[in-house]
Structure 1
C-alpha cells in the first residue's frame, strides 16, 4: 500500500459502511442533492428493499433503464410514469422499481463523488444489506470495435496507475480502485449467455477532462501532435487499457471503502485510435450496458436464496 493510502473496509455482514463518526451526533442528515432527509423521509421504508443500484451519467438514461428493468422483471405498470424521487432538485434523478434503484450522477469525478456520498449514506440509513452497485455508461475505446462493452477490471489514472488520489486537508490521500473480480466474471458470463454483442474485461482509464486529458485533437486547446496522441494511446493499450471515461476511479474507490460490491460496465462509442468526434449513429450502442446489467439482475433474482 502506498504512503497516504487508506485501508478500505471489507465487512462480512453485508452492511453498507460509512466512515464518519460525526454522523452519529447529528439530529438529522439532510441529503441535500437528493432532496431527502432522515427526519423528513422514512428511508428504511422507501429504500430498505434495494439490492441493486445502477448509476449513470444522464437522467434520461437512468429513467430509460428503470423502465427497461421494470419490464424485464415483470414489474412494469402501463399507468406508471416512474416519478423522479429527487423531484425538487435539478442535480440528480432517482427512480426505483422493486429491488432496483436507478440514479444519475452527472459528468466527471466531482459530480459522481457528491452523488455517491449521499447514496452511500442513503443506503446506510435505509439499513440495506448485500447491495450491488453498477455504473452503466459510455466511453471511448482503444483498439476495440465501436459497440464493444467493457467490464472494468481496474480503474487507472492518466498515468495508468490503479489509484484514486484526493487532497484532504492539504494532504494527498490515495485509495484503491480495485473492483470485484467475481462480479466482473459474472457479467462476462451473462454477456456470453446473451450472445448479442462483444464484451471484454479490461482496465479503464479515468481522466479529469474530456478533451486534452483524453488526448483529443479537437478541443479549444491542443499543444501536441497526432503522433503524440497515438503514442500515448499505444502506451495505454500496452498497460491493458481498453476504454476511457471520467468517473470510474472515484466510483471504484468509494464503493470499496463502503463494502459495496461494484462493477463498471461501459460501451465504447468509437475507437480513439481512429478518431475523436462522436456521431449520432452510435445512439443505439447506449442500450447495451442496460441489456447486460438487466440480464445479470434477472439471473441474480432467480438464483437460489435470492429475493
Structure 2
C-alpha cells in the first residue's frame, strides 16, 4: 500500500515547465491513438495544432465548454473565421474540445471515471504537442456547504467522503493512495481575481469529491437511502467542520493526475444550493444559467491578467 502523495511531484513541476509522463511503456508505441478524442499521433500534427496552449479549462458538459470558448475568445479579443469554434473531437461523441489562441476548452463528462479517461488522453496530447508551463483549471458546478447559492469556491484541497486529502485507486488488485493537494499559489491567485471582479462571493475551501450524486453526497431524495435526516445533517456538519465548502464528483482524480504529471491545477466551482438547507435544486433555470457563468468570468479574468490584457 502506497502512502498519500508523490514526494517527487514538486520536483517534476520545476523541470522547465515540461509535462511529465510517468509511463515508460509509451516510448514503445509507434502510433498513439487517443481513442476518446478521435485523434492520433500518426494522423495529427500535435505540436502544430496544440503547441501554443498555455491554459486548459475543463468542465462537465460539451455545451458549457463551447460557451466558454466563445466567451474567452470575445474576452481576449481573438476573432475566428465566421466567429465559429469547431469541435476538434467531432469524430467522437465522448468528449468535445475547442481551441482559441492559447486556450483549450474540453468537456469531461460526470464523475471520476469519465474525467480520468479524458485526463489521460489530454495529458498525453499536451506532452506530444511539447507544451510547457500549462495551467489546467476545472470549472463547474457543485453543492455548497454553509454558503449562499451562487458562491464560487476555489478548492484548497480535494478530500474524499471521509474528509481525507487522498484518492484511493485499486490498481492490480491493490489500493493505491495519491495526494489530492492543489497548487496553493495558483489558488491564491484565483481567489485574488475573484476579489478584483467583486461581482459575486468567492471563497477558498476544501472540496469533497464523491463517487455518487445521491447517497454518496448524503441526499435523501435518491431511489435508495439508508440513513435518517438527522444522520445526514450530522455528516454534512462534520464535513463543514473539516473545512469542506462544496461537494462535487471530479476534483480528487483531477488533483492527483495534475500532481503526478507536473501540471499546475485548480478547481473553480459555483455552488447551486446550500446542502444544509436541502437536497433538490429548485432555483429558476435563468438564475442557474447566470450562476454557471461565474467560474467562466473568474477564470477569464485570470487568463487576461496572465496574458497582460487587463
Given the two structures, how large is their TM-score scaled by the length of structure 1? Answer: 0.96
Residue 151 of structure 2 aligns with which residue? Answer: 148
Residue 299 of structure 1 aligns with which residue? Answer: 305
Residue 160 of structure 1 aligns with which residue? Answer: 163
**Distance in 2 between residues matched to 1:4 and 1:136, nearest whole Å:** 25
Residue 256 of structure 2 aligns with which residue? Answer: 253
**Distance in 2 between residues matched to 1:57 and 1:48, nearest whole Å:** 24
**Distance in 1 between residues matched to 2:251 and 2:215, nearest whole Å:** 18
Residue 236 of structure 1 aligns with which residue? Answer: 239
CA 1:175–1:17 in structure 2 vs 1: closer, same or farther (change >3 Å)? same
Residue 292 of structure 2 aligns with which residue? Answer: 286
**Distance in 2 between residues matched to 1:130 and 1:197, nearest whole Å:** 29
Shift of 1:112: 0.2
Shift of 1:3: 3.4
Residue 195 of structure 1 aligns with which residue? Answer: 198
**Distance in 1 between residues matched to 2:4 and 2:247, nearest whole Å:** 26
Shift of 1:282: 2.1
Residues 105-126 of structure 1 deviation map (CA, whole Å, 9 limit, x = unaligned): 0000000000000000000000
Residue 174 of structure 1 aligns with which residue? Answer: 177
Residue 270 of structure 1 aligns with which residue? Answer: 273
**Distance in 2 between residues matched to 1:240 and 1:8, nearest whole Å:** 27
1:9 aligns with 2:9: yes
**Distance in 2 between residues matched to 1:66 and 1:106, nearest whole Å:** 17
**Distance in 2 between residues matched to 1:2 and 1:153, nearest whole Å:** 23
**Distance in 2 between residues matched to 1:129 and 1:116, nearest whole Å:** 16
- Long gaps (5+) in structure 2: none
Shift of 1:6: 4.3
Residues 184-204 of structure 1 deviation map (CA, whole Å, 9 limit, x = unaligned): 111111111111000001000
CA RMSD of the aligned region, Å?
A: 1.5
**Distance in 2 between residues matched to 1:141 and 1:236, nearest whole Å:** 11
Residue 72 of structure 1 aligns with which residue? Answer: 75
**Distance in 2 between residues matched to 1:44 and 1:78, nearest whole Å:** 22
Shift of 1:284: 1.4
Residue 135 of structure 1 aligns with which residue? Answer: 138
DSSP-derived class of the 1:76 partner: coil
Residues 125-164 of structure 1 deviation map (CA, whole Å, 9 limit, x = unaligned): 0000000000000000000000000000000000000000
- Long gaps (5+) in structure 1: none
Shift of 1:78: 7.0
CA 1:224–1:132 in structure 2 vs 1: closer, same or farther (change >3 Å)? same
**Distance in 2 between residues matched to 1:192 and 1:140, nearest whole Å:** 21
Shift of 1:9: 2.9
**Distance in 2 between residues matched to 1:167 and 1:101, nearest whole Å:** 31
